[in-house]
Amino acid sequence: MKKVSLAQFVAGLAMTVIELVISFAMSAIWPAIKVEYANSLMFRSWSDPAMMFYFLYPFILAVMLARIWHWALPLNPNWQKFGFLGFLTLTVPGMLITYASFQISATMVISWTITGFLQLFFASWLFAKIIK
């Protein structure tokens, strides 16, 4: 169980870094995204205590995914398939409903989709390396 706990922490940290790096890169590539994030009618201020969930989310996701990976070990899971299935079941539907429900740009949704893809693939790779 120590390996699962280590994998959860490392994957949560990695997913947080991926999220921050992609967000920064996309804001640099498409400055309009930075303007969207500044919209206080759509997004909370960083000073709002509820924003702590922004940093907790990758760790919560890592805990759930590491447990699923651990349970799937007897089935000899492939980390690439695990990451892709996670992307298809977690990110894609979430981004479709986000785009349909909120007045945000397709660029922002694409940015979040890329982030989800990279987070899930990297976390899956980490699980395969750490949990075995």
Per the structure, the count of domains in the chain is 1
In angstroms, the CA 39 to CA 105 distance is 12
Q: Which residue range forms the structural domain that includes residue 81?
A: 2-130
pLDDT digits (tens, 9 = 90+) for 12-71: 999 999 999 999 999 999 999 989 988 888 888 889 999 999 899 999 999 999 999 999
In angstroms, the CA 51 to CA 103 distance is 20
Q: Which pLDDT band, with edges at 50, 70 and 90, does 11 fall under? A: very high
